[in-house]
Chain A
Amino acid sequence: MNLLNTFFNVPVLLASLPQLLFGLLVTLQIGVTSILAGLVGGLALALLRLYGARPVRVATRIYIDIFRSIPLLVLLIVVYYALPFVGIRLSPFVSAVAALSLVSAAYTAEIFRAGIEAIPHGQFEAAQALGLSPRHMMVDVILPQAIRIVIPPLTNNCINVMKDTALASVVAMPDLLKQATQAQALSANPTPLIGAAIIYVALLWPMVAAVGRLEQRFAKGRR
């Protein structure tokens, strides 16, 4: 009974719910913006890495390796706390989105590259032999096939970005986690934290399940 009162205190939960939902909204804003920016940036990086001039290929490769190695929390703190020393002062929202997008773009680039490289060489040759420009070859022939392959790993990456938005609370972003810790402090009860955890799971479980289904369907469709 005591345990229930501590972790699942219904009055506390109801009282903190509006605050948690506001936090969820902020989390979604950060997450969706970062995912979209990461997708666009990742596709551009993948194309540069595959088809750019040699120095460009090397540069994108270095970028991708660095941003896959750096811990997101470290990057976020550098962006928010270190950049002001050189006069670059970003808001918490922009800092969080910048850090998440920079890293997500690096992962997305590798996913797109693997997808493009999985397309049989004959598809490129057929497109070239028909006289299609490189742009039309990619847009009409290669990418539509590659997208199918990369949907499961891309969805996985989206889940990771959504989870990582919780780190934004360290730069004072009023996201779901931050709201929950504040509500917890206010009510001297951890129920809002449990509430936040449940909301995270409710948000991401469908995506996790979708990846599983997509991967299964993909494995069958390949035969």
Chain B
Amino acid sequence: MSALIEIANLRKAYGSFTVLHGIDLAIEEGEVVCIIGPSGSGKSTLIRCINHLEPFDRDSRILVDGIPVAPGRGLAAVRAEVGMVFQSFNLFPHMSVLRNVMLAPMRVRGLSADAAARRGLELLARVGIDEQADKYPGQLSGGQQQRVAIARALAMEPKALLFDEPTSALDPEMVGEVLDVMKQLAASGVTMVVVTHEMGFARQVADRVLFMDGGRIVEAGPPAQIFDAPREERTRAFLRAVLNH
């Protein structure tokens, strides 16, 4: 009965500046976890440690589906199982939208071009971009690009998806279309860890909300608890600040 993602005593420092102070966290299969907190609190660093885009302390331990996250052979397996969606999309600009989605399944999973294209078109349809499959990322709006990035991550059939402020770089009128796709994913049982400033989304979709500050998880619980009855003063102050906006 172990969780899909297990994090134990996760510590990370830049020189003498400690970004994460020994975080413990377990994320179950199918769970949707939203991470909120002020700028610089370590939210991005935390989720980037899960697929080892950030190296972390030696005595810290992260397991994804039982595989230790550490440099070496196992890391490729972890990354194949964990998709990531970035704030700035990071689509490959020299490839068509469809090629973006096909690349990793072909190179990492060994899918044939035909099979990868079929899966790619299916996923692009799921995020509503199938009409644009032959366009290049630069020809799409921000919202469309982010939906392609979600399809690209899904194409690996990952066990979990990590989102780092997926709507923060978008014009306001495009935020909704990306959140809608993410809501569908959450409803279909995909395990998701979402760093977000969209409190409405967190309240509606999350199974659990984590409030981070100063490199620690200050408070965690179901959305109703965190948003309506926060126990910690720091959580209250943060929510006051963002909700009064």
Contact = CB atoms under 8 A, between A and B. Distances in A.
Q: Do A and B bind each other?
A: yes
Contacts of A136: 107-108
Q: Which of A131, A132, A133, A144 neighbours the largest number of chain B CB atoms within 10 Å of its CB?
A: A131
Contact of B107 (A125, A126, A140, A145): A140
Given A131-B108, A132-B108, A126 B76 contact: no
B216 interface: no
Interface in B68-104: 76-77, 79-80, 82-84, 86, 88, 90-94, 103-104
Given A123-B92, A129-B153, 14 more contacts: A125-B86, A125-B90, A129-B53, A130-B80, A130-B104, A130-B108, A130-B152, A130-B153, A131-B76, A131-B104, A140-B92, A140-B103, A145-B93, A145-B94
A121 to B, nearest CB: 9
B108 A126 contact: no
Dominant secondary structure of chain B at its interface with chain A: mixed
B51 interface: yes
Contacts, number: 62
B86 A130 contact: no
Interface of B: 51, 53, 76-77, 79-80, 82-84, 86, 88, 90-94, 103-104, 107-108, 152-153, 156
A141 interface: yes
B90 A131 contact: no
A129 B103 contact: no
Interface in A112-154: 120, 122-123, 125-133, 136, 140-141, 144-145, 148
Nearest to B100: A126
B77 to A, nearest CB: 8
Given A136-B107, A140-B103, A140-B107, A129 B79 contact: yes
Contacts of B103: 130, 132, 140-141
Contact of B83 (A129, A141, A145): A129
A120 B86 CA distance: 13
Nearest to A133: B76
Contacts of A144: 94
B159 to A, nearest CB: 12
17 contacts: A120-B90, A125-B90, A126-B90, A126-B92, A129-B53, A129-B84, A129-B86, A130-B83, A130-B103, A131-B80, A131-B108, A131-B156, A133-B107, A133-B108, A140-B103, A144-B94, A148-B94
Contacts of A129: 51, 53, 79, 82-84, 86, 153
B152 A125 contact: no
B94 A122 contact: no
Q: Which of A126, A140, A144 neighbours the largest number of chain B CB atoms within 10 Å of its CB?
A: A126
Given A122-B86, A125-B86, A132 B104 contact: yes
A126 B156 CA distance: 13
B58 to A, nearest CB: 20
Nearest to A123: B90
A148 to B, nearest CB: 8
Nearest to B88: A122
A130 B81 CA distance: 9
A122 B88 CA distance: 8
A129 B88 CA distance: 14
Given A125-B53, A125-B86, A126-B86, A131 B79 contact: yes
B90 A130 contact: no
Interface in A87-131: 120, 122-123, 125-131
Q: Which of A120, A128, A133 neighbours the largest number of chain B CB atoms within 10 Å of its CB?
A: A128
Given A125-B90, A136-B107, A145-B94, A130 B79 contact: yes
B53 to A, nearest CB: 6
A127 B152 CA distance: 11
Contacts of B79: 128-131
A65 to B, nearest CB: 30
Given A122-B86, A133-B76, A128 B53 contact: yes
A144 B79 CA distance: 23
Nearest to B104: A130
